[in-house]
Amino acid sequence: QSPPLVCVIPGDDAAPEVMRPTVEILRSLVPEIRFVEAPCGREAQVTHGTPFPDVTREAIDAADCTLFGASGGPSRPILWYLRWNKETYINVRPVRWIPGYRSPMLNPERIDYVIARDNLEGMYPPREGDVAELDALPSSSSWWLAPPVDKVGAYSLKVSTDEQMQRVATYACELALKRLAAGYPGRVTLGAKYSIQPRTDGRFRSIVKEAVSQHPELTYQEFLVDDMARRLVASPESLDVLVLGNEHGDILADVSSGTIGGLGLSPSACYGENYAYFEPVHGSAPDLAGKGIINPTAMLLSGALLLDYLGYNEQARTLESAIQQTYQAGTLLPVDQGGQAGTTEFVNAIKTHLP
Ligand code: NAD
Ligand code: IPM
Ligand code: MN
């Protein structure tokens, strides 16, 4: 078997500042992995005349998986390619507080769950139209009798296919079973707006509930997504695997991130049947670009998820443990964590805990 090939997309704004040290550390942990950096965004626009050149698409296709920085706009078409063309249907966002993380919560040690977010559908496939066209669309409620067809305005559509909801539900159950074996409660919690969207979120609710009922060792819980948002703050200890639609998962992942100490700390992994890509939950942090202070933790932890995907579990734990030891020591912290360490300085501190 040939060694794995990873495509690296540095991304926009401040993202490359965390990507470069991450790739360096991953290389040192597993020298046999081949990392191939592909041009993207503004730089690619200059060198190749497009933010998403063919060579980049080919590099993504040729690789076993992709490590993606973050897009601040220019690299967005690449993100869509990674999601929709590679059909990475599930966006997995672990939410775990580690001693040393500067959390605004009173008892952050209770926070240890995973968000399983739809990565393809909901309101993301951009289909918008004019309110004048609303009369032609069926309504699932008799309460809102008259669409404002005589007004100027637009609507957006939300899309949920049975196939996608089913595989999101299946993934959540498998994850909960795996976590159950590791001592977690085996609880799947759905957050959705089934009260007002019977055909999309209502159907999602039935599908997830039915999927969980196939596994007697798992328990099922559901909350309307607005109440779910409160629970992330009020009772995160009750959560194990949280299933959310695309836009709800996007928003609540940032809330969750806030509870452990911020976007600098939250990794994610997106899996499909045949492909995966890894990116931090945060964006390109344009306000930090060029300052050398962006926190590399989220990117590094996304790198650890990549190592797991490729089967280098031991090296993934080594990396997580080095990060954990650095925070636990607390002698040096990144700026967003109330410290003074720049990106390089903090990465160097992590390196002292690596073999
Ligand atoms: P953002 O996540 O880039 O930044 C929000 C805030 O968090 C900023 O104050 C930023 O400085 C801070 N922050 C983010 N990451 C940090 C880190 N690693 N260390 C320290 N502080 C960090 O979100 P935004 O400002 O709303 O969006 C900026 C751009 O990023 C937008 O174009 C947005 O669409 C895009 N975005 C991309 C992705 C992605 O590619 N996966 C994800 C989210 C946002
Ligand atoms: C995320 C981001 C993306 C999303 C943006 C960049 C399109 O916010 O991955 O959380 O909304 O999914
Ligand atoms: Mn987001």
Task: Assign domain 1-102+265-355 one CATH number from 2.60.120.10, 3.40.718.10, 1.10.620.20, 3.90.1260.10.
Answer: 3.40.718.10
Q: Which ipTM was obtained for this model? A: 0.98
> Per-10-residue mean pLDDT for the chain, 355 residues long?
95 98 98 98 96 98 98 97 98 98 96 98 93 84 68 92 98 98 98 95 98 98 98 97 98 98 98 98 98 98 98 98 97 97 98 97
Output the residue whose Cα is nearest ligand 2's atom 12. Answer: 250
With 0-12 CB in 10 A as exposed, 13-18 as middle and 19+ as buried, what is 92? buried
How far is 25 from 36, CA to CA, in rounded Å? Answer: 15
How far is 293 from 311, CA to CA, in rounded Å? Answer: 31
Token match 């700390």: residue?
265
Atom of ligand 2 nearest to the CA of 247: 11
> 74 and 47 in contact (C-beta within 8 Å)?
no
- Tell which CATH architecture fits domain 158-260: 3-Layer(aba) Sandwich (3.40)
User: Which numbered ligand comes closest to the C-alpha of 288?
Assistant: 1
Output the residue whose Cα is nearest ligand 2's atom 3. Answer: 250
302 lines ligand 2 (CB under 6 A): no
Domain locations in the chain as residue ranges = 1-102+265-355, 124-154, 158-260
> 277 and 270 in contact (C-beta within 8 Å)?
yes
- pLDDT, tens digit (0-9, with 9 covering 90-100), for 251-263: 999 999 999 999 9
**Per-residue pLDDT at 279:** 98
Output the residue whose Cα is nearest ligand 1's atom 39. Answer: 70
**Per-residue pLDDT at 136:** 85
Percent helix, percent strand, percent coil in the chain, to nearest 5: 45, 20, 35
Beta strands 128-130 and 34-37 are unpaired
**Per-residue pLDDT at 144:** 62
**Per-residue pLDDT at 145:** 58
Residues with CB under 6 A from ligand 1: 70-73, 79, 263-264, 279, 282-288, 294-295, 298, 336
Please give the helix or strand (H or E) that residue 91 lies within, else none: strand 90-96
**Per-residue pLDDT at 1:** 78
Beta strands 241-244 and 112-118 are parallel
* 293 C-beta neighbours (distance < 10 Å), count: 21
> 7 and 67 in contact (C-beta within 8 Å)?
yes
**Per-residue pLDDT at 54:** 98
User: Which numbered ligand comes closest to the C-alpha of 17?
Assistant: 1
Give every CB contact of residue 172 below 8 A, 6+ residues apart in sequence.
116, 188, 208, 211, 212, 241, 243
- Asked if the domains at 1-102+265-355 and 158-260 fall in one CATH topology, the answer is no
Token match 């890509």: residue?
277
User: What's the distance, CA 294 to chain centroid?
Assistant: 18
Output the residue whose Cα is nearest ligand 2's atom 9. Answer: 281
